[in-house]
């Protein structure tokens, strides 16, 4: 039987893997796509704001479609524990209201992340008048940002994957 420490270890490992892999892939993809272009601006034709908003939806949507089924299979195979969500804990109370269908869970994570992370990312850039990125700077920024977003969302995804259905 696996203990809470085992669950915490799984969460730490998966969070690290998800965060680092998403940082690397998103930064690399951004650099490959943007390296030959001009600077990106807050608004306009080459807007990084639009890219941040789109990525804030797409990234969690895709990560959900990977993390939940992969870890649910581990749980069913006995390689990961089955947990019961505790409605007294705010995060778990919230997750207990999630739909059971994977694509709806992905949609929920995508929409919530877009609504939360887009303003939390763009507002400080606007307030501190950081309105332009070189392609390299944006690739580094986006990689780090994507890694943080993926890492923050991995725990709730894992809790959904490991819960008893």
The per-residue pLDDT for range 101-119, each reduced to its tens digit, is 999 999 999 999 999 999 9
Rounded to whole angstroms, the Cα distance separating 2 from 151 reads 23
pLDDT value, residue 161: 96
pLDDT value, residue 126: 96
* Three-state DSSP class for residue 143: helix
User: Residue 1: pLDDT above 60?
Assistant: no
pLDDT value, residue 27: 98
Rounded to whole angstroms, the Cα distance separating 153 from 92 reads 13
* Three-state DSSP class for residue 61: helix
Those residues with Cβ within 8 angstroms of residue 121's Cβ, 6 or more apart along the chain or in another chain: 52, 56, 145
pLDDT value, residue 63: 98
Q: pTM of the full predicted structure?
A: 0.92
Rounded to whole angstroms, the Cα distance separating 66 from 60 reads 10
- Count of domains for the chain: 1
Q: How confident is the model at residue 53 (pLDDT cuts 50, 70, 90)?
A: very high
Q: How confident is the model at residue 2 (pLDDT cuts 50, 70, 90)?
A: low
Rounded to whole angstroms, the Cα distance separating 153 from 60 reads 7
The per-residue pLDDT for range 129-145, each reduced to its tens digit, is 999 999 999 999 999 99
pLDDT value, residue 156: 98
pLDDT value, residue 111: 98
pLDDT value, residue 115: 98
Q: How confident is the model at residue 165 (pLDDT cuts 50, 70, 90)?
A: confident
Task: Calculate the average pLDDT of the chain.
Answer: 95
Please, are residues 61 and 107 in contact by the beta-carbon 8 Å criterion? Answer: yes
Residue owning tokens 């992969």: 70
Please, are residues 74 and 65 in contact by the beta-carbon 8 Å criterion? Answer: no
- Print the domain residue range for 138: 4-162
Please, are residues 42 and 125 in contact by the beta-carbon 8 Å criterion? Answer: yes
Adjacent-strand bridge partners of 133: 40
Extract the tokens encoding 60.
Answer: 């969690």
């Amino acid at each position: 039987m696996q203990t809470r420490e085992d669950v915490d270890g799984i969460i730490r490992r998966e969070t690290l893997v998800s965060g680092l892999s998403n940082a690397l892939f998103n930064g690399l993809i951004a650099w490959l796509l943007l390296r030959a272009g001009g600077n990106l601006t807050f608004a306009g034709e080459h807007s990084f704001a639009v890219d941040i908003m789109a990525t804030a939806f797409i990234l969690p949507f895709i990560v959900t479609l990977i993390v939940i089924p992969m870890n649910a299979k581990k749980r069913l195979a006995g390689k990961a524990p089955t947990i019961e969500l505790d409605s007294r804990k705010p995060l778990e109370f919230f997750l207990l209201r999630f739909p059971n269908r994977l694509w709806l869970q992905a949609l929920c994570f995508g929409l919530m992340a877009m609504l939360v992370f887009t303003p939390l990312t763009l507002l400080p850039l606007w307030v501190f008048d950081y309105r332009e990125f070189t392609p390299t700077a944006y690739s580094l920024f986006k990689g780090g940002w994507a890694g943080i977003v993926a890492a923050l969302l991995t725990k709730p995804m894992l809790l959904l994957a490991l819960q008893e259905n």
